[in-house]
Amino acid sequence: MKVLTVFGTRPEAIKLAPVIAAMAADPAIDQRVCITGQHREMLDPVLGAFAIRPDHDLALMRPGQSLNRLASRALGALDPVLQEERPDRILVHGDTTTAMAAAVAAFHRRIPVGHVEAGLRTGDLGRPWPEEMNRRCIDAVADQLYAPTPLARANLLAENLGPREIVVTGNTVIDALRLAEARLGSGQEAARIAELAPLAAPGARLVLVTGHRRESFGQGFEDICTALADLAARQDVRIVYPVHLNPQVREPVHARLGGHPRIHLIEPLDYLPFVWLLRRAHLVLTDSGGVQEEAPSLGTPVLVMRDVTERPEAVAAGTAQLVGTDPAAIVAAAARLIEDSAEHARIARIANPYGDGAASGRILAAIKGEPVSEFAPDPAIAAQPAPVALTA
């Protein structure tokens, strides 16, 4: 069976890497990899970390290009690849413009689509924008839906999509995290980690920050910057913020926070050093999807700087709290985690609701038409109501 995996951004690469590794080890699969290059600097290190050698690189990134320009160039560039490779199936991940365009391009060529991380929903097309539309569109055309959690499967079933194969796999990010953690013990990463060690030195609480959601551009990022400046007024806090390369993020963040003695604005980190820092962080302030899923495995509480989340399992389990972008709410929630060590320790011990590290094997089995033993999270966690939105 010939499988073509298509991706273009950092999180897709991280989360597809274990699936690509599983397919590479299986002689029944003839695998090809196509990257759109929607990201460049943030994608290439992930390819290196997981030793992925793409067969096709469409090199689509242009500084600050519009979503329509990116989507139309992706459709145009993917078509000849599909014609040349004639795969039996393509695999896409998540909710990016790359994933949506690849799914539509394959649909137009009547090639079956497998969707990794299917079924995530906020129910609000504007948040996250445009990702909520992208994942709905992919789920509409995919014939195999690899839902990471039972809730994601329930979301898909509620949409009455018609005959589809839906398999609960766990999230492949946990598989990726395990591969990364195994590598962190090796001497190869020691030099890069030594560079970061002073940032994680004892004496202050390390607060790690990431952020890039388009619906927060403008006032949302202004508010996030205000919150970080207010939090950094505390002498016992050190903020480390690897700033996303999107100019709509970089410009306000550097203009507002550059030069602060307790706020370290650094370049995006490669995956392994990022995992190392996330483990050492006292808490993480983020709007990232992947970070919400990884942090519970590393014992790091998450404050989600968004009003809605498609990952309510973390909120239900207690590993993440929705705080929005209001500065006072962000500072109050962070202060609580800094001052209440018993509460921090309780959260750090909660089991991860997103996976058990075996998701890629389940996806491979589904691709091959073999029976799958599905991922089942801790029943106590799965039974909790999962709120998607911030309540006043």
Residues that bind ligand UD1 (CB under 6 A): 9-11, 38-43, 61, 63-65, 67, 70, 95-97, 130-131, 212, 245-247
- For residue 47, the tally of other CB atoms under 10 A from its CB is 17
138 and 99 in contact (C-beta within 8 Å)? yes
**Active-site residue, selected from the candidate residues 10, 32, 56, 117:** 117
Taking CB under 6 A as the criterion, the residue among 54, 87, 119, 289 binding ligand UDP is 289
Q: Is 339 a catalytic residue?
A: no
Pairing of the two strands 205-210 and 56-57: unpaired
Residue 97 touches which of ligand UD1, ligand UDP, none (Cβ within 5-8 Å per kind): ligand UD1
Q: Is 159 a catalytic residue?
A: no
Residues 219 to 248 in contact with ligand UDP, rule: CB under 6 A: 242
Degrees to nearest 5, angle at CA 364 with 361 and 370: 100
Q: Is 362 a catalytic residue?
A: no
Residues 129 to 188 in contact with ligand UDP, rule: CB under 6 A: 173
CA–CA separation, 45 vs 179, rounded Å? 15
**Active-site residue, selected from the candidate residues 93, 212, 238, 279:** 212
Sole window of 140-148, 214-222, 267-275, 325-333 interacting with ligand UDP (rule: CB under 6 A): 267-275
304 and 322 in contact (C-beta within 8 Å)? yes
CA distances from 114 to 19, 143, 164, 165, 258 (A): 12, 6, 10, 10, 43
List strands edge to edge, sheet with 56-57: 56-57, 30-35, 2-7, 89-93, 113-116, 144-147, 165-168
Contacts of 25 (CB under 8 A, 6+ apart): none
CA–CA separation, 386 vs 234, rounded Å? 33
Taking CB under 6 A as the criterion, the residue among 4, 6, 7, 10 binding ligand UDP is 10
CA–CA separation, 92 vs 117, rounded Å? 9
Determine if 210 is a binding residue for ligand UDP (CB under 6 A).
yes
Q: Is 212 a catalytic residue?
A: yes
**End-to-end CA distance of the chain, in Å?**
51
Among residues 6 and 331, whose Cβ is nearest to ligand UD1?
A: 6
Residue 40 touches which of ligand UD1, ligand UDP, none (Cβ within 5-8 Å per kind): ligand UD1
Contacts of 383 (CB under 8 A, 6+ apart): none
Residue 185 touches which of ligand UD1, ligand UDP, none (Cβ within 5-8 Å per kind): none
Residue 38 touches which of ligand UDP, ligand UD1, none (Cβ within 5-8 Å per kind): ligand UD1
> How near is the Cβ of 304 to ligand UD1 at its closest, in Å?
14
Residue 39 touches which of ligand UDP, ligand UD1, none (Cβ within 5-8 Å per kind): ligand UD1
Active site residues: 95, 117, 131, 212, 214, 244
- What is the contact surface with ligand UDP in residues (CB under 6 A)? 10-11, 14, 173, 210, 212, 242, 268-269, 271, 274, 288-291, 294
